[in-house]
Structure 1
């Protein structure tokens, strides 16, 4: 399909300032629900987690216990890479007072003076689910494997609420410094297993990449997501393995020079990004998520699905030299 610069510029633009309010309101509605469990924000304001993002956070403590949590907006809304069809706001409820850890070889929690926790993630998810039912009504809440869906209405947006432990990675700490860790979250799906994610690191690394690429990184992510939808409308069969998160992470691995070669001409820049990826298939195995920590591809089928997806997008994408 042949795209004009005006079309690409429209695709590349952030949706608008209303997204910021949606993210704040998502935190407010979860905060108000958690107050039913005697959590309080002690009058604190919702904080912007980082500039050039819609990531917001709020810390709460439970009056009757020593538990404290962080409510954090994460995902494409927080990272300003969402497009109109991505309507859900992702909200993590992170238990800070009980956490899981990774240590360097030979070290353990005893070296840091940590005691064993007594409150599980499953208990947290059960507790959150119950209070969301009470606050929003049973018809507006649905438990999923990794999250709890809160359906929106005329005054609130859909939200995916993810209860999680704080995850502290002390692997690089050599001096038993309890504050020297890389922060992540641990999710326990109902189906079993454990997932470690790094939403705060993702936000930070995405902002750094955007600045290093003269703010073309996130523009290209939004363009790619929009073109994916065009491809589906034109009959392309897109693998279920291709996700919004995966597209953002894939493009994050593109060399900065590909984004800056043609200054502000988006049709040339996006073509350069696709060309880089097509020519870099052999290195996909080394790609990481935007957090720079986790491998992007953990199995060959997913890696090949993204290679096929990018090949098809490169074939599908054309641009007009002349504006129309």
Structure 2
């Protein structure tokens, strides 16, 4: 399929400044629901987690119990890598007063003076579901394995609400400093198991990568997401293993030189990025997610799916040289 520079530039552009308010509204929506269960923001305003992102946060506490949660916009909206078909704002509801810790060898809770928590992530999910249904009605809220879906309408946004524990990694702390940890979140799906993610690290490292690549990193992320949709519409079988976050992480691993080789010609830059992968397949085992912590490819099947996608993409697109 042929693309002009104008088409490539349109794909690369952020959707609109209105996305900023959409993310704030998602926070307000969850806050207002949780107030029905005696949570309060103590009059605090929604804060920007980091500049150059649409990630917003708000701290709440439940009156009379001392439970504390943080509402955090995460995902493609927060990182400004969403495309028009990605309509759901992703809000993590992070249980701060009970957390999961990982320690260096030989260390335990007692080294830090921690005691067992009394409130679980599953209880939090039940609580959040109850609050949302009380606030929006049962028809507008659907519980899923990992999240609670709020179905948008004319006065509220589509949102995926993800209840989770705070996850604290103390592996590199050797002085028993309770504040010296890498922060993540741990999701407990209804189906069982545990998923550890690092949304704050993702936001920070994404901004850093974007700056050092002269702001071409996130442009290319939006381009490759849009091209994936074009491939599917043109009969390419794109594996379900290819996710939006996976594509963003894939491009996060590209050398800065590929993003900065050309100036002001996006089709050349994007071509350089895809060509980089073609010569880097043998290093895919070293790729990490955009948080810089978790391996991007947990198994051979996932790695192979991404390699096939890159090969198919390389064959799929070309540039209209008549432009």
Q: TM-score, normalised by structure 1?
A: 0.99
**Superposed CA RMSD:** 0.7
Q: Partner of 2:296: helix, strand, or coil?
A: coil
Partner of 1:191: 191
Q: CA-to-partner distance for each residue in 1:85-128, whole Å, 9 max, x for gaps?
A: 00000000001011000000111111001111111111111111
**In the alignment, is residue 237 of structure 1 matched against residue 237 of structure 2?**
yes
What is the CA-CA distance between 1:321 and the residue it aligns to? Answer: 3.1
What is the CA-CA distance between 1:300 and the residue it aligns to? Answer: 0.5
For residues 260-275 of structure 1, the aligned pairs below 5 Å read 260-275=260-275
Partner of 1:40: 40
Mind listing any 5+ residue stretches in structure 1 that lack a counterpart?
Answer: none
What is the CA-CA distance between 1:233 and the residue it aligns to? Answer: 1.0
Partner of 2:295: 295
Q: Distance in 1 between matches of 2:63 and 2:127?
A: 16
Partner of 2:284: 284
Q: Partner of 2:149: helix, strand, or coil?
A: strand
What is the CA-CA distance between 1:221 and the residue it aligns to? Answer: 0.2
Q: Partner of 1:118: helix, strand, or coil?
A: coil
Partner of 1:50: 50
Q: TM-score, normalised by structure 2?
A: 0.99
Partner of 2:149: 149
Q: Partner of 1:114: helix, strand, or coil?
A: coil
Partner of 1:125: 125
Q: CA-to-partner distance for each residue in 1:41-75, whole Å, 9 max, x for gaps?
A: 01111001111110000001111111111000000
What is the CA-CA distance between 1:317 and the residue it aligns to? Answer: 1.5
What is the CA-CA distance between 1:264 and the residue it aligns to? Answer: 1.9
Partner of 1:309: 309
Partner of 2:164: 164
What is the CA-CA distance between 1:320 and the residue it aligns to? Answer: 2.4
What is the CA-CA distance between 1:165 and the residue it aligns to? Answer: 0.5
Q: CA-to-partner distance for each residue in 1:158-203, whole Å, 9 max, x for gaps?
A: 1000000100000001100001000000000011000000000000
Partner of 1:105: 105
Q: Partner of 1:303: helix, strand, or coil?
A: helix
Mind listing any 5+ residue stretches in structure 2 that lack a counterpart?
Answer: none
Instruction: Report runs of 4+ in structure 1 exceeding 3 Å deviation.
Output: none
